[in-house]
Structure 1
Amino acid sequence: MVWYLRVDWQHDFPDEPLTLYSEVGDDDYETRKVNVFPDGHLEWADAEHESAHTGLGEIPVPPLTEINKQEEFTAQQIDRDTFETLWTQATA
């Protein structure tokens, strides 16, 4: 089953994203991703496209409980419509 993920990342790195959105496939690997950066710009990635700071993960996405054990991350499952709206904005 495909599912959607939002991860908020607490940090002070100006060139790294603050929020990461992922579409996660049946195999727990990311199939699409949108990153939101501190200056508000969006970068996206899928199987055919990546940017300097946004690419698909090379390992399976861990469970939410595991992500949330790291104090700099807050992860939650989101709905498809939320992801699709952001994907449309990022890829426009």
Structure 2
Amino acid sequence: MTTTYICVQWIHRHSDYPVQLYSELDEHRFEVRKVEVSRDGRMSFAGERSQSGDTRLTTEPIPSFAEIASDKHFSPREISVAEFEAVWSAAINQL
């Protein structure tokens, strides 16, 4: 089983949408857990059993890095499990 962790910077000017998207992906690139970070630093999250705010897991596999990066509004990078877990912990403890 291969798990991937990514952070995608979403480049936009809308104050109602997150600017960073952290995802834990399973071997088929489906989200297992996700954290969304807003411009003001607020965080919301979604997992298989819990969620906060408007954050939800996607129902489709996440596209490849190349496909995400081909859109000038998104800047993806792979992150470590430790970085994801730190962000996840911060999000769930923000409640």
TM-score by length of 1: 0.95
How many Å separate the matches in 1 of 2:82 and 2:58? 22
The residue type paired with residue 60 of structure 1 is: P
In structure 2, list runs of 5 or more residues that go unmatched.
none
- Contact 2:35 2:87 (8 Å CA) reproduced: yes
The residue type paired with residue 3 of structure 1 is: T
How far did 1:39 drift? Answer: 1.3
How far did 1:49 drift? Answer: 2.2
Task: Name the SS of the counterpart of 1:35 in structure 2.
Answer: strand
How many Å separate the matches in 2 of 1:84 and 1:51? 17
Q: What is residue 42 of structure 2 aligned with on the other side?
A: 41
The residue type paired with residue 19 of structure 1 is: Q
- Contact 1:16 1:53 (8 Å CA) reproduced: no
How far did 1:84 drift? Answer: 0.3
- Contact 2:35 2:44 (8 Å CA) reproduced: yes
The residue type paired with residue 27 of structure 1 is: H
How many Å separate the matches in 1 of 2:39 and 2:29? 27
- Contact 1:36 1:43 (8 Å CA) reproduced: yes
